[in-house]
Amino acid sequence: MSSQVALMVLVDIQSSAKISGILRLMFARLWLWSTPGLEFYKHMGSGRNGGFSIHPSGTHQALFCVFQDSASLDAFCQSSKLMRWYKEHAKDFFSVKLKAYSLKGQWSGFVPQITAQTPQSGPIVSITRASIKPLYCLPFWRKQPAAEVSLQQSSGCIIAAGVGEAPFFRQATFTIWESQAAMDQYARQGAHQRAISASLSGHYFSESMFSRYLPFDAQGSWKGRTLG
């Protein structure tokens, strides 16, 4: 089995460092690709309050990276200037390592490798992302508020964050669940089920990825809640 491992980082930057944070979101790509062992990454913004709003947040950001092995990931966490800056200028900083156990689709042509068995118990992570076709942007966002309310009220959801590469059109959702059963129960609820059915019709997205991961080595806090 492959030794590939991923990292998700969520950060809420202090207001005093907001401009510097935006500049890093714009230009960090200039040095991230030279990271040893890095196979894929997405440096993303977020909706207002770290959620799914069409209104962008000036302080919430996310970083998703896939490394060829754990040694490369650990070296990045220890030596990355971006990671160090985030920790020094964050109101909230949360990171978690991930191994994929279920995946459908791709992200900018990249397909993460399955590196873990489906867990029988304990927490899981879900990452869903999509490139929304321009003609279907408005119908998609009309469905999104109901699905978000359903998610926030769902039992067993530990973290829910809306992130994206570009406003309106290239969006992703990161969630942590207490168990696979909790995630599956939410997936069967009305608002989310209707949104998924619409997306699977083939009309809404030019590209999508639905993935689940085994989380480990979680550190930090999110929205004032200590995790890990």
Residue 171: the pLDDT is: 82
For 105, phi then psi, to 5°, come to 100, -160
Q: Give CA angle at 14 (13, 19), nearest 5°.
A: 75
The residue-averaged pLDDT of 121-145 equals 76
d(CA 218, CA 215): 7
Greater confidence, 47 or 165? Answer: 165
Structure confidence at residue 224 as a pLDDT band (50, 70, 90):
confident
Q: Is the CB of residue 101 less than 8 Å from the CB of residue 114?
A: yes
Structure confidence at residue 107 as a pLDDT band (50, 70, 90):
very high
Residue 171's contacts (CB-CB under 8 Å, 6 or more residues apart) are: 52, 129, 130, 132, 162, 163, 164
d(CA 48, CA 67): 29
